[in-house]
Amino acid sequence: MSKTPSKTSAGNFFEDFKVGQEFRHATPRTLTEADAALNIGLFGMRFAINSSDEFACRLGLPRAPLDDLLVFHVVIAKTVPDISMNAVANLGYAEFRWGVPVYPGDTVSVRSTVLGLRETSDRKSGVVWVRSTGTNQKSEMVLDYVRWVMVHKRDPNATVGPAVVPKTAASVAAADLIVPEGLTLDGYDDGAAGSSYRWEDYAAGERIDHVSGYTLEDSDHMFSTRLYQNNAWVHFDAVKGKTTRFGRRLAYGGHVISLARSLSFNGLANGFKVAAFNAGSHVGPTFGGHTIYAWSEVLETAPLPGRSDLGALRVRTIAAKDQPCADWPGKGADGKYHPSVVLDLDYWLLMPRRA
């Protein structure tokens, strides 16, 4: 009797990928006001533009858009079954740009193309580069990015092709940032936003300790993993987690990014929109029970073409576990990170200018 083919999928392993390969990811996701509320419950987000329809309408938008990182979580998660179900670790991001705002009722779909492949020296895994694009129901881009992830091989002895490593831009140019259509900052309310500091009040080299910390519980990161339909077993399967070098489940890196963004409200409350990621690295693992702190450094202030009401602030945010950030944990003189550092993220914020 012939063996019946399995109807289930174990995901793709490194040797299954080919440069140029395209994926149309399941499952489209219609986002709702419930998603906005759960996003606040998980991360404590307080940015006014995502919290208040009235605030958003005064800026020329039809209503409060969904948090930019909520869109990030949904788009990333859609790619997991095809790209990173068998990941060792997510390694980095580049050329990350947000497009049109996403509002409750919008449906997000995602496609990806494999850009590059490189086997690791021990032949047990390899790095996969992909460009992924999320679109709404009108086929408008909501998020476009490159990420690279280390993926297990099914068979360490499997032969793979020569390495192809794509070249990515070092950063997104300020002139290429996408400003939502109709957005005007003439009606921006500092009191409602929670800060009187605007674009002109920040200078390159300035450092901001965001002061507070959030303790991450296993129930928190596992809930967010399920909420965004991210089925990478390393985040939620405790039995398989024991087989990793850490011996336990690894917290989803995007959860840490959102915690760092939420913490940054204290000092960057008027950075109302994340417009792009220039680069990002998950430097170290995070687990349930760790407390996340964050600090930021202003890298650059940039005016935007044709806008006197709005500027761009390039920021680098460092997140650390169980380490308050008054002493700015980061890279030492030897180029190595402080052992507490779990995230190093370089990104652009949109911020109102003074009249």
Contact call for residues 67 and 273 (beta carbons, < 8 A): no
> Phi, psi at residue 337, to the nearest 5°?
-75, 150
Question: What pLDDT is stored for residue 89 in this prediction?
Answer: 81
Question: What pLDDT is stored for residue 21 in this prediction?
Answer: 98
**Spatial distance between the Cα atoms of 11 and 240, rounded to a whole number of angstroms:** 15
> Phi, psi at residue 116, to the nearest 5°?
-160, 160
Report which of 262, 302, 325 is spatially closest to residue 47, judged by C-alpha positions. 262
Question: What pLDDT is stored for residue 2 in this prediction?
Answer: 60
Question: What pLDDT is stored for residue 145 in this prediction?
Answer: 96
- Residue 47 per-residue DSSP state: -
Q: Which fold has domain 193-216+251-355?
A: Thiol Ester Dehydrase; Chain A (3.10.129)
Contacts within 8 Å (CB) and 24+ apart, 125-129:
125/14, 125/88, 125/150, 125/151, 125/152, 125/153, 126/14, 126/15, 126/17, 126/150, 126/151, 126/153, 126/160, 127/91, 127/151, 128/14, 128/17, 128/83, 128/84, 129/165, 129/166
Handedness of CA 264, 270, 273, 274 (dihedral sign): negative
Tokens 């002061």 correspond to: 211
Q: Which token pair is 114? A: 């494999």
pLDDT, averaged per 10 consecutive residues of the chain (355 residues), comes to 77 96 97 97 97 97 98 96 89 93 98 98 96 98 96 94 94 96 95 98 98 95 93 85 87 94 98 96 93 98 96 98 97 95 97 92
Q: How far apart are the first and last CA of the chain?
A: 79
Handedness of CA 36, 229, 21, 346 (dihedral sign): positive
Q: Cis ω on the peptide bond leading into residue 27 (within 30° of 0)?
A: yes
Q: Helix, strand, coil proportions of the chain in percent (round to 5)?
A: 25, 30, 45
If you write DSSP's letter for every residue of 207-247 in order, what string do you get? Answer: EEE----EEPPHHHHHHHHHHTT---HHHH-HHHHTTSTTS
Contact call for residues 310 and 350 (beta carbons, < 8 A): yes
CATH architecture assigned to 14-156: Roll (3.10)
Contact call for residues 291 and 216 (beta carbons, < 8 A): yes
Which ranges in the chain are annotated with CATH 3.10.129.10? 14-156, 193-216+251-355
